[in-house]
Amino acid sequence: MSLNRLQTHTGTTLDFTFNGKAYQGIAGDTLASALLANGVNVVGRSFKFARPRGIFGHGAEEPNGIIQLGSGAGTVPNLKATQVELYQDLEASSVNGWPSVNYDVMGIIGAFGRLMPPGFYYKTFMYPKKLWMTYERFIRKAAGLGATPVEADPDSYDKLNQHCDVLVVGAGPAGLVAAREAARTGARVIVADEQSEFGGSLLASKQAIDGLQATNWVASLVAELRACNNVQLLPRSTVFGYYDHNFLTILERRTDHLGLTAAQGVRQRMHRVRAAQVVLATGAFERPLVFAHNDIPGVMLASSVSTYVNRYGVAPGNKLVVFTTNDNAYQTALDWHETGRDVVAVIDTRSNPSGDIVAAVKAKGISVIAGHGLIEAQGNQRVKRALIAPINALGTEVTGPVRRLDCDLIACSGGWSPAIHLSSHTGAKPVWDESIVGFRPGESKQQERSAGACRGTFDLIGCLAEGATAGAEAAKMSGYGEGIPQFPCSAVEEFVEQPQQALFLVPHIKSISRAPSQFVDFQLDVSASGIELAVREGFESVEHVKRYTALGFGTDQGKLGNINGMAILANALDQTIAETGTTIFRPSYTPTTFGAIAGRDVTNLFDPERYTAMHRWHVEQGAEFEDVGQWKRPWYFPQNNETMQESVNREGLAVRNTVGILDASTLGKIDIQGPDAAEFITRMYTNSYLKLAPGKCRYGVMLKEDGMIFDDGVCACLGENHYLMFTTTGGAAGVLAWLELWQQTEWPDLQVYFTSVTDHWTTATVTGPNARKVIAKVCSDIELSNEAFSFMDWRDGTVAGVKARIFRISFTGELSYEVNVPAHYGRHVWEALMAAGEEFNITPYGTETMHVLRAEKGFIIVGQDTDGSMTPADMNMDWVVGKNKTFSFVGKRSLYRSDSVRENRKQLVGLKTLQGSDVLPEGAQVVFDAKQKIPMSMQGHVTSSYFSASLGHSIALAVVKGGHSRLGLIVHCPLADGRIIAAEIVSSVFYDPKGERHHV
């Protein structure tokens, strides 16, 4: 049996290690309760002064027990020991404390704590600025912010989208009865609680409800809820964010309690909840008292001491002093007394505590010292004694001699602070209420209400009543029930509490600035004197003081320290707490793993990969792939250890000399039908389609309103009032949306419908001098002669037994047939074409060769040679602009702006390097004078650049200022490696300038 484990508490023994030392706990323990059971005093070091710190709380508020769980890839930093459920072979270490928690080099700095006032980091480490990186590494290591794993996370996380009528946050007394009332109406209810068991404060309570012991009452209510099929219970689930439109996020820890390696399935699941109504029943945090050296291990919250005793069977010490401003903490004296260990005294700041519970404590023979403050704790790695002294009624001064009380545990309570965090997330401004000495949730903009302790109602009977009302009301507002609680009010016996005293800083015999540190925020070592100093240095706003002192910046988000800190600030500013206000809580309520936020959208599921019908054929041929939008397109088809350039040379020459085949299925395709289709298309493209006959195709360029090229492609007339528009691969969805936008918002009078057919058709482009011969072998019902089926025609026919549509469009400059079949037949037709082309050495080629071939012809690629600032004229494509169309077209007016017509715009030209083997890098800048001093006058840049095997030298497309009138000029491209490559401005059409090859 461990040192501090009560005999009455038994269970399965679990082995674990902490900072390399082996211990034993009991199933049901948290790491914190197990450490306390083993008498581990120091669990970490403070952030700034490296003071030894012990477990202080028992839940999300814990500021000190910040630990690193596990090691290797699965290690998790910055967990709170109070929230980590113990499992067999758990392995944990302190995140603070370097090199060890017990002997700490930073302790030297701690000894000079006064040399590190608030703003210390700003004042000391920010200058000189260039050294910050050096300082930061040291500070991080010294402060111990935990270590992130360097390997990939081995765990799996996922997300569920949930919808419910009533979401109940918190399964303490108020939450449970709220859920019961809502469930009864038939509403869909979700109950989320961050602990492993439902019950909240009742789990550590000895009260009786409806004649049952509190834990049994909880068990029966939970069983009742579990039996309802309209109720979803989520234990180990923290609601960490409350966003607009009643959208809340829950982190469910599914396997963390089983250990890091035992995990099967998802470790954590994020629930994204859209709730019609929300009941917040998040409870309250006990407020610590601020006295000198209140951070020594052995000082704890009163409710935490009770929780360890009652719930975990752990008495974390031997001789207890209770220090309180209220009746509530007297319960801790009773609970401790029950363990048989010594209650030294209850120190009460009130001059005449007179409640029933005070009498009950006195009746046990426990000494109650009223009108006193515990002004200082003494000890090093554990409390050894408390100094107490009489204080005045306002609690501002010590009024009598100091006495010493030997003890090893101080349980303190300054009252309770409602957990208003989630309410604050909604934008509700917390309201200070003197009667509860705390902030209540403000008026909310969301469909939510608070119930119980988080609303400032601290008695159990009140919590139960409020919970029932809130549950019934929430159900009604989501359309269920009458809004009136149906279950009878539970019978509860409890002490009626007398008023508490509002005390946020316990006076010392010395002034604040001279007294030993009175800690407000343990995690970041913010003391009362630090807050006062910030005020003396001129900070007034609570938001500024927060940032200057770091109050509330830790991973506990100031759950314990904030109220005391603000009250001390208010006092220093000589104003009320209401006037001072509070900082606003934001998500996340507790730290949330990135894994859960990413969910399954990782690795192969991170982004969809879109495949064509021939994808597997390409894979089987060993193709390398290129990402084009979400599509995977074959990039090149290497053979026999070819380099990419060797493949591209071979593929390109095959197209020029015999025949090649390209998977062009990814091009966007939009079917357009309606009596006004031609008119509509003519308004969208720069040229006219009014006279395009069935069986014919035309190339067009689409502009945005600013006159700049947005997309290009071929449009075919399929029949009367029926067209097929091709778009770029990446532009398909954008073009369809663009067409719909103009039709729906500008020209609803035009009768035309658009339908995407991109996925329906698979396209195999057969191109090269032998293309006709290949097609002829698999297609017998189309007259293929150049006279019968010319360039820019299309025909219906049958290819390899499949109904197909063939277009004579060419992006290579060679004789080309684009064979389109419904995608189910895609691979069949592709393989038939490959077989038919075998005797001509038909060569599959990828996007890289496609780019080279089109660049040889000077064909632009929108998005590569254009960047959203290029007009058709800039691209030397004035021929595609129909200037005499009856109706205007989108972007026309902008083509005549002064900027659009000015000379010296960047214009598309070809560049031919003087050394044919030099291939310019794409993006290279063009200058006219290579000897000009830096900064040089940039005259343009290279947009496309390749080595052309057909031509035997490199080719490039570039946009150069006034380029169209500078043909023949020698320009220079200075490169990052210091070389300067000279090139001549030439026509952008390098190959077959008369366009004879595709007209055969």
Tell me whether residue 182 or residue 528 sits nearer to other proteins (CB atom). 182
Contact 388, 367 (CB under 8 A): no
- The count of residues interacting with other proteins (CB under 8 A) is 52
Q: Does 274 bind other proteins (CB under 8 A)?
A: yes
Tell me whether residue 777 or residue 828 sits nearer to other proteins (CB atom). 828
97-105, 160-168, 189-197, 899-907 -> range binding other proteins (CB under 8 A): 160-168
Cβ neighbours for 295, distance < 8 A, ≥ 6 positions apart: 46, 51, 53, 64, 517, 519, 522
Tell me whether residue 760 or residue 964 sits nearer to other proteins (CB atom). 760
Tell me whether residue 67 or residue 270 sits nearer to other proteins (CB atom). 270
956: β partners:
911, 945
Q: Give min distance, CB of 356 to other proteins, in A.
A: 49
Q: Does 823 bind other proteins (CB under 8 A)?
A: yes
- Contacting other proteins (CB under 8 A), which of 114, 137, 163, 893? 163
Angle formed by the axes of helices 826-837 and 771-778, nearest 10°: 120
Q: Checking phi first, is residue 622 left (phi over 0); if not, alpha (psi -120 to 50) or beta?
A: left
Q: Give min distance, CB of 188 to other proteins, in A.
A: 7
152-160, 335-343, 413-421, 442-450 -> range binding other proteins (CB under 8 A): 152-160
Residue 177 token pair: 């009865």
Tell me whether residue 831 or residue 992 sits nearer to other proteins (CB atom). 831
What DSSP string describes 463-521? HHHHHHHHHHHHHHHTT-S-SS--SPPPPB--PPPPPPP--SS---SS-TTTSSPBEEE
CA torsion 109-113-115-117 (nearest 10°) is 130
- Contacting other proteins (CB under 8 A), which of 758, 871, 913, 988? 758
- Contacting other proteins (CB under 8 A), which of 502, 506, 800, 971? 800
Q: Could you give the string, one character per residue 441-480, with x where binding to other proteins holds by CB under 8 A and - elsewhere?
A: ----------------------------------------
Q: Does 511 bind other proteins (CB under 8 A)?
A: no
Distance, CA of 949 to CA of 312 (rounded, Å): 79
Q: Does 438 bind other proteins (CB under 8 A)?
A: no
Tell me whether residue 560 or residue 664 sits nearer to other proteins (CB atom). 664
Q: Give min distance, CB of 671 to other proteins, in A.
A: 5
Q: Does 612 bind other proteins (CB under 8 A)?
A: yes
Cβ neighbours for 658, distance < 8 A, ≥ 6 positions apart: 768, 769, 770, 840, 841, 842, 843
Provide the H-helix boundaries in 623-689.
Answer: 644-657, 677-684
355-363, 467-475, 766-774, 818-826 -> range binding other proteins (CB under 8 A): 818-826
Q: Could you give the string, one character per residue 587-606, with x where binding to other proteins holds by CB under 8 A and - elsewhere?
A: -------------xx--xx-
- Contacting other proteins (CB under 8 A), which of 100, 213, 751, 876? 751
Q: Does 491 bind other proteins (CB under 8 A)?
A: no
- Contacting other proteins (CB under 8 A), which of 111, 160, 644, 741? 160
Cβ neighbours for 441, distance < 8 A, ≥ 6 positions apart: 280, 418, 420, 423, 424, 428, 430, 431, 450, 454, 455
Distance, CA of 62 to CA of 55 (rounded, Å): 7
Q: Does 745 bind other proteins (CB under 8 A)?
A: no
130-138, 457-465, 516-524, 799-807 -> range binding other proteins (CB under 8 A): 799-807
Tell me whether residue 237 or residue 758 sits nearer to other proteins (CB atom). 758
User: Measured in Å, how far apart are the chain's first and last C-alpha atoms?
Assistant: 96
Tell me the residue length of the chain.
Answer: 1000
Q: Give min distance, CB of 760 to other proteins, in A.
A: 4
Residue 774: Cβ within 10 Å count: 26
323-331, 352-360, 672-680, 992-1000 -> range binding other proteins (CB under 8 A): 672-680
Q: Quick check: bond before 869 cis, omega within 30? A: no
Tell me whether residue 755 or residue 987 sits nearer to other proteins (CB atom). 755
- Contacting other proteins (CB under 8 A), which of 825, 889, 990, 991? 825
Tell me whether residue 162 or residue 501 sits nearer to other proteins (CB atom). 162
Q: Give min distance, CB of 239 to other proteins, in A.
A: 17
How are beta strands 794-799 and 802-807 bridged, if at all? Answer: antiparallel
State whether the Cα torsion 726-729-731-736 is positive or negative.
Answer: positive
Q: Give min distance, CB of 722 to other proteins, in A.
A: 9
Q: Does 970 bind other proteins (CB under 8 A)?
A: no
Give the largest CA-CA distance in the chain: 117
Distance, CA of 685 to CA of 221 (rounded, Å): 69
Q: Does 828 bind other proteins (CB under 8 A)?
A: yes
| Residues within window 678-707 making contact with other proteins, judged by CB under 8 A | none
Distance, CA of 595 to CA of 240 (rounded, Å): 15
Contact 687, 698 (CB under 8 A): yes
Cβ neighbours for 498, distance < 8 A, ≥ 6 positions apart: 327, 353, 354, 355, 358
Tell me whether residue 111 or residue 605 sits nearer to other proteins (CB atom). 605
Q: Does 162 bind other proteins (CB under 8 A)?
A: yes
Q: Does 761 bind other proteins (CB under 8 A)?
A: yes
Q: Give min distance, CB of 689 to other proteins, in A.
A: 17
Q: Give min distance, CB of 744 to other proteins, in A.
A: 10
Q: Does 265 bind other proteins (CB under 8 A)?
A: yes
Q: What angle do CA 384, 512, 328 make, to 5 degrees?
A: 60
Q: Give min distance, CB of 725 to other proteins, in A.
A: 13
Tell me whether residue 421 or residue 610 sits nearer to other proteins (CB atom). 610
Tell me whether residue 1 or residue 605 sits nearer to other proteins (CB atom). 605
Tell me whether residue 336 or residue 761 sits nearer to other proteins (CB atom). 761
Residue 221 token pair: 């209510």
Q: Does 185 bind other proteins (CB under 8 A)?
A: no
At 741 the three-state DSSP class reads helix
Q: Could you give the string, one character per residue 627-666, with x where binding to other proteins holds by CB under 8 A and - elsewhere?
A: ----x-----------------------------------
Q: Quick check: bond before 128 cis, omega within 30? A: yes
At 135 the three-state DSSP class reads helix
Q: Give min distance, CB of 222 to other proteins, in A.
A: 22
Provide the H-helix boundaries in 113-170.
Answer: 120, 132-143
Angle formed by the axes of helices 562-573 and 528-536, nearest 10°: 40
Nearest of 802, 750, 770 to residue 997 by alpha carbon:
770
Q: Give min distance, CB of 827 to other proteins, in A.
A: 6
Strand extents, DSSP E, 513-615:
519-521, 526-527
| Residues within window 17-76 making contact with other proteins, judged by CB under 8 A | none
Tell me whether residue 23 or residue 794 sits nearer to other proteins (CB atom). 794
At 709 the three-state DSSP class reads strand
Q: Give min distance, CB of 320 to other proteins, in A.
A: 48
Residue 802 token pair: 């499949």
- Contacting other proteins (CB under 8 A), which of 100, 318, 541, 673? 673
Q: Does 618 bind other proteins (CB under 8 A)?
A: no
Q: Give min distance, CB of 70 to other proteins, in A.
A: 23
Which residues contact other proteins (rule: CB under 8 A)? 158-163, 188, 265-266, 272, 274, 600-601, 604-605, 607-613, 615-616, 631, 671, 673-675, 751, 753, 755-762, 800-803, 821-828, 831
